[in-house]
């Protein structure tokens, strides 16, 4: 079974490319952002806690995210592969994922790192904000999310580089061309 980390800053196309991967490869998928938004919509305790972090452009604490992930891992037992979308976002989360997979005799197969220039990210997220209904797709929060990415999330790249799992993907250009580069990595 392939375990794929789909990584990149906010607006780099993780959600879009996850859909493409699911269609072509039939992998299971977990987006921690989607799970948190569902928790918020259902007004659960986790959702209420997460809301303040999300709207401030900050990361939800590692312990909550790791617990959330641990609860879903077993649901993928029969999948051909799994895409982790928007997780891990800190080195602590990457270490926790490695441990969870090791307990199952597995490991991350590849980390796909979508590379997109910052101004392009801002343009995309502002555009998305016009229709997404997401309370964090506004310029002020977008800038905070990018700062959070640069400070807390980008070190995850080095973690996977050292682990021999890093595959950089040019994330600018047509969705089809970007997906073709992803397929090259997934077919290896």
> Would you count residue 65 as binding ligand AMP (CB under 6 A)?
yes
SS3 154: coil
Residue 89: active-site member: yes
Minimum CB distance to ligand AMP smaller for 59 or for 114: 59
Q: How far is the CB of 46 from ligand AMP (least distance, A)?
A: 11
Q: Which two tokens stand for residue 174?
A: 């047509």
Distance of CA 57 to the CA centre of its chain: 15
Minimum CB distance to ligand AMP smaller for 2 or for 58: 58
> Which residue in 46, 59, 112, 186 binds ligand AMP (CB under 6 A)?
59
Identify the helix (H) or strand (E) that includes residue 126: helix 118-132
By C-alpha distance, which of 106, 44, 46 is closest to 73?
Answer: 106
CA 156 – CA 85 distance, rounded (Å): 14
- Binding positions for ligand AMP, 92-151, rule CB under 6 A: 93, 136, 145
Residue 145: active-site member: yes
Which residue of the set 2, 58, 134, 144 is catalytic? Answer: 134
> Would you count residue 28 as binding ligand AMP (CB under 6 A)?
no
Please check whether residue 60 is in contact with residue 50, taking contact to mean a CB–CB distance below 8 angstroms.
yes
> Would you count residue 68 as binding ligand AMP (CB under 6 A)?
no
Distance of CA 183 to the CA centre of its chain: 18
> Which residue in 4, 21, 30, 54 binds ligand AMP (CB under 6 A)?
54
What's the Cα-to-Cα distance from 1 to each of 82, 98, 104, 107, rounded to whole Å? 8, 15, 11, 9
> Would you count residue 51 as binding ligand AMP (CB under 6 A)?
no
Q: How far is the CB of 117 from ligand AMP (least distance, A)?
A: 18
Q: Which residues in this chain contact ligand AMP in the complex, by CB under 6 A?
A: 10, 32-33, 36, 53-54, 58-60, 65, 86-87, 89, 93, 136, 145
């Amino acid at each position: 079974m392939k375990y794929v980390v789909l990584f990149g800053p906010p607006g780099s196309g993780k959600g879009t490319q996850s859909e493409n991967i699911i269609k072509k490869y039939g992998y299971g998928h977990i987006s921690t952002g989607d799970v948190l938004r569902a928790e918020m919509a259902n007004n659960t305790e986790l959702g209420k806690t997460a809301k303040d972090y999300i709207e401030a452009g900050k990361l939800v604490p590692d312990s909550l995210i790791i617990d959330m992930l641990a609860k879903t891992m077993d649901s993928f037992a029969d999948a051909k592969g799994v895409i982790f979308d928007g997780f891990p976002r800190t080195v602590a989360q990457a270490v926790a994922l490695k441990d969870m997979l090791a307990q199952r005799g597995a490991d991350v197969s590849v980390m796909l790192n979508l590379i997109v220039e910052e101004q392009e990210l801002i343009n995309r997220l502002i555009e998305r904000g016009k229709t997404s209904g997401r309370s964090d797709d506004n310029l002020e929060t977008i800038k905070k999310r990018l700062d959070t990415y640069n400070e807390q999330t980008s070190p995850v790249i080095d973690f996977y580089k050292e682990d021999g799992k890093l595959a950089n993907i040019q994330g600018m250009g047509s969705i089809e061309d970007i997906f073709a580069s992803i397929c090259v990595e997934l077919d290896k």
